[in-house]
Amino acid sequence: MLTPETKDIWDSIIADYKEAQHCLWCPKHTKQWSRDGQRGFYYLWKAYHLAESAQEKHPLWYARILYMMACEQRYKQWDYEILNFYLKPCIAAYKEAMASAEQPTQKEVDAAQYMYEQYSYELANISNTADCVEQAYSRIEGLSSFPNFAFHDSKVIAFSHNESEASLTLQYDDVILTLAFDDVTEVHVNAVDPEITYIVDFYCYPAFRAKDCLVFDIGFYKIRCRKIRAFTK
């Protein structure tokens, strides 16, 4: 049970969260609506910081704020931060809320749990051990024909994609390699211009709950597809 003083603080936090929700996520039964990112993020970050600094937490609304932060900050912060700053405390807060009188909906709990499991799975597959790197290379068809190529310290030469295909050309020393991505379902592009720097990270692993799909991730580009082929033009 929150103290009267803390209840007043949380009433203000909840009002800020609801304003952020209205600006960023289309409210139900609203015909004319447009996303207002500037106003929405102002209220979301305000609600988040006030919730973090509150000595007493309101489990249900704290969980909702953390889940919204995780959703809005994905692709803006590192996956490790999304998991540990938002999703882990979000799941803990939902569990606490479910044990209290104010129950969350099963739909919102399931959505948060799915996102938590997804990020946990992906981070478990991001490793630079020799075995993980070898497995990642083996998932790209034809890559074994280019023993002098390495993703680490290679450079992006060209990238293009449409709704179902993508093409990425990389250069490592004198080797110029093109990767073709078939049956693409997702493409995420980092804001950093890859043509002015070198690749540091490379991961390729089965997609979460869809083992017939692959996730290819070099930091600048993260692509989900059915098949990856390596060749030279």
Q: Looking at residue 137, what is its pLDDT?
A: 95
Q: Which amino acid belongs to residue 163?
A: E
CA-angle at 204, arms to 227 and 132, nearest 5°: 135
pLDDT for 195 beyond 90: no
Q: Looking at residue 119, what is its pLDDT?
A: 95
- Give the relative orientation of helices 59-73 and 37-53 as an angle to the nearest 10 degrees: 140
**Dihedral pair phi/psi, residue 59, rounded to 5°:** -50, -45
Higher-confidence residue: 169 or 101? 169
Q: How confident is the model at residue 1 (pLDDT cuts 50, 70, 90)?
A: low
pLDDT for 194 beyond 80: no
**Looking at the DSSP assignment, which residues form a beta bridge with residue 225?**
214
DSSP state, 34? -
Q: Looking at residue 219, what is its pLDDT?
A: 85
CA-CA distance, 217 to 126, in Å (whole number)? 9
Which of the residue ranges 86-90, 109-113, 195-199 would you say has the lowest mean pLDDT? 195-199
Query: Between the CA atoms of 203, 209, 214 and 218, what dihedral angle is there, to the nearest 10 degrees?
Result: -30
Q: Looking at residue 17, what is its pLDDT?
A: 98
Check: CB of residue 21 under 8 Å from CB of residue 68.
Answer: yes
- pLDDT tens for residues 56-102? 999 999 999 999 999 999 988 888 999 999 999 999 999 999 998 78
The mean pLDDT of the chain is 92
Q: Looking at residue 75, what is its pLDDT?
A: 81
How would you classify the pairing of strands 203-207 and 186-189? unpaired
Q: Looking at residue 196, what is its pLDDT?
A: 67
Check: CB of residue 174 under 8 Å from CB of residue 154.
Answer: no
Q: Looking at residue 107, what is its pLDDT?
A: 96
- pLDDT tens for residues 132-158? 889 999 999 999 999 999 999 999 999
Task: Write out the H or E segment, with its range, that includes residue 187.
Answer: strand 186-189
**Dihedral pair phi/psi, residue 166, rounded to 5°:** -145, 155
